[in-house]
Amino acid sequence: MSATTRSTTTITRRTALRMAGGVGAAAILPACARGTLTRAAPGDDVTLNNDNPTWAPGFEAAGEVLHATTGHGFAIRAVPDVSSYQQIVRMSAQTDSTTDLVKWWNGYRLQDVARAEIFADLTAAWDQAERNGWVDPSLRDSFSYDGRPYAIPLYQSYYAVFYSQSAYQRLGLEVPQDWDEFIANAQALRDGGVTPIASGGVDSWESLIWFQQLLIGLDPDFYAALTDGQASYTDDTAQEAMAIWVDMYEQELFSPPDTQVTELPGRFAEGSVGMNLHGAWNTNAFVQAGMDEDTFGLFLLPAVASTAPHAVVTESGALAVTVNAHKRSAAMDVAGAWLDTDVQRAWVGFLSDLSANPAALPPVQPVRDLATQVEQTSPVLATRYWEASPPVLVEGNVEELSAFMAEPTLAMAQATLRRMQERAEAEWDRWLL
């Protein structure tokens, strides 16, 4: 091989490498700029971003039904960490690198972003759902900002008591009909060597569960006023709720506050935990663990005060269409058909929880029983505390409640309420700016 030939070969190789590098960079750089999470879905599908990767099979099942009615299915994206997910949606929705639909929260969390005009007006979707009887119109307010709805309900979960059938049967207990019976059941479980009420939250949002429950159990109107900034955390009703909570701790009716909700299916099965107040969406964890109505049941917690009406906390995920969606028109069609009974049946069939559409029930007996209880008692619906006040206020106050759970004394309860009120005053001022 001559020197000239070698030289020519080298140049050719270099040129080839440069070209390959150039083509590679041209292919990679736009991909980096856009990211796989936020690219438009191929074909007729629309992209949906959410913070729960385990929901993908449920969305796909619902997407198949949606495809038959609207011509569009789902391409699912998921970011498992809630904080990261919120940041991604807040930032990407302001650009064209956004998914078509996003899972969000209702109440003040929705207002927080809706006022930045990143979500599309879903008045048409709500009107269609109400016309078809797919949704209770009273829910519309908690999905609205400035009189217009910006999301539709993803699901409709109630906060109810999960109870262990084996523990209840072993101790001969019945589902309580009033607050005294509920406390008596807890005491019987304690005396029988069973942890009466599992209640975690020392390092999570779950610290709000008993706070909101005791408040609505005493006076749902006060809870509504408190979360709307019209009442004080140091008012008598809040003080009374905290005193009841302290008393329950003193009676040793609660588990340690670092109990993890993920442990519960196993502990229910062995009968070492009696009850747990939680969103009914946690039924899915029990079902996934192979448990059925023979192992656990669900009941609505009776009101604390005998004069108080039936009330229950509800939680609704929200489904929103981004203003900058790649396929906005298709996404609006999907949002309009989301609450269709057939779509919701496919969705709750996976979720094992209730839909905002009362005709769609999951094939899980305890949840169907819960739906019947709600229908029979027509309770006052209270928005979960997480969504019921401005997000920064709630996040700070939830941390106060977590700290209280680590030291559940009356002195700590009063200090907690005082700090919650101080934060409320500061944060309501900021919110209204």
Partner 1 sequence: MTALNERDSALTRRTKPARPGQSRRPHGSLLLFLFPAVALVGVLLILPFLFTIYRSFFRDNGFSRSWVGLENYTTLLTDDIFVRSVLNTGMWTAGTLLLPVLLGLLIAVGTNSVRWGPIARFAIVLPYALSGAVTALLWNFMLQTDGATNALLSALGLSALERPWLLEWPMNTIVMIIATTWQATGASMILFLVGLQAIPAETIEAGRVDGAGGFRLFRSIVLPQLRPISVVVVGISLVNSLKTFDIVWLLTRGGPGTSSETLALTMYRQTFTLSRYGYGAAVAVILTVIVLVASWTYLRRQLRAN
| Cα–Cα distance for residue pair 304/130, rounded to 1 Å | 34
The one among 259, 282, 352, 421 contacting partner 1 by CB under 8 A: 259
If one asks whether residue 323 binds partner 1 (CB under 8 A), the answer comes out as no
Which residue number, 293 or 395, has a Cβ lying nearer to partner 1?
A: 395
The one among 255, 283, 355, 421 contacting partner 1 by CB under 8 A: 255
The 3-state DSSP class for residue 269 equals: helix
Q: How far is the CB of 377 from partner 1 (least distance, A)?
A: 35
If one asks whether residue 395 binds partner 1 (CB under 8 A), the answer comes out as yes
Which residue number, 7 or 84, has a Cβ lying nearer to partner 1?
A: 84
Residue 325: phi, psi to the nearest 5?
-55, 145
105 DSSP β-pair partners: 317
The count of C-alpha atoms lying within 13 angstroms of the C-alpha of 65, restricted to the half-sphere facing its C-beta, is 18
For residue 26, give the H/E element and its range: helix 3-34
Residue 82 vs residues 89, 176, 205, 252: alpha-carbon distances, Å: 11, 36, 12, 33
The one among 87, 262, 365, 376 contacting partner 1 by CB under 8 A: 87
| Cα–Cα distance for residue pair 78/48, rounded to 1 Å | 8
If one asks whether residue 270 binds partner 1 (CB under 8 A), the answer comes out as no
The one among 60, 203, 221, 342 contacting partner 1 by CB under 8 A: 203
Q: How far is the CB of 202 from partner 1 (least distance, A)?
A: 5
Which residue number, 139 or 320, has a Cβ lying nearer to partner 1?
A: 320
Amino acid at 246: V
Q: What sign results for the dihedral spanned by CA atoms 52, 53, 54, 60?
A: positive
Q: How far is the CB of 82 from partner 1 (least distance, A)?
A: 9
Q: How far is the CB of 390 from partner 1 (least distance, A)?
A: 11
Region binding partner 1 by CB under 8 A among candidate stretches 307-315, 355-363, 369-377, 393-401: 393-401
Is the distance from CB of 271 to CB of 194 less than 8 angstroms? Answer: yes
Residues numbered 370-389 forming contacts with partner 1, rule: CB under 8 A? none
| Cα–Cα distance for residue pair 56/317, rounded to 1 Å | 15
| Cα–Cα distance for residue pair 70/75, rounded to 1 Å | 15
Residue 274: phi, psi to the nearest 5?
-90, -50
The one among 295, 406, 414, 428 contacting partner 1 by CB under 8 A: 406
If one asks whether residue 257 binds partner 1 (CB under 8 A), the answer comes out as yes
113: how many CB neighbours lie within 10 A of its CB?
A: 22
| Cα–Cα distance for residue pair 422/398, rounded to 1 Å | 14
If one asks whether residue 37 binds partner 1 (CB under 8 A), the answer comes out as no
The one among 39, 40, 56, 94 contacting partner 1 by CB under 8 A: 94
The one among 61, 151, 238, 405 contacting partner 1 by CB under 8 A: 405
If one asks whether residue 399 binds partner 1 (CB under 8 A), the answer comes out as yes
Contact set with partner 1 (CB under 8 A): 83-84, 86-87, 90-91, 94, 113, 115-116, 118, 202-204, 255-259, 391-392, 395-396, 399-400, 402-403, 405-407
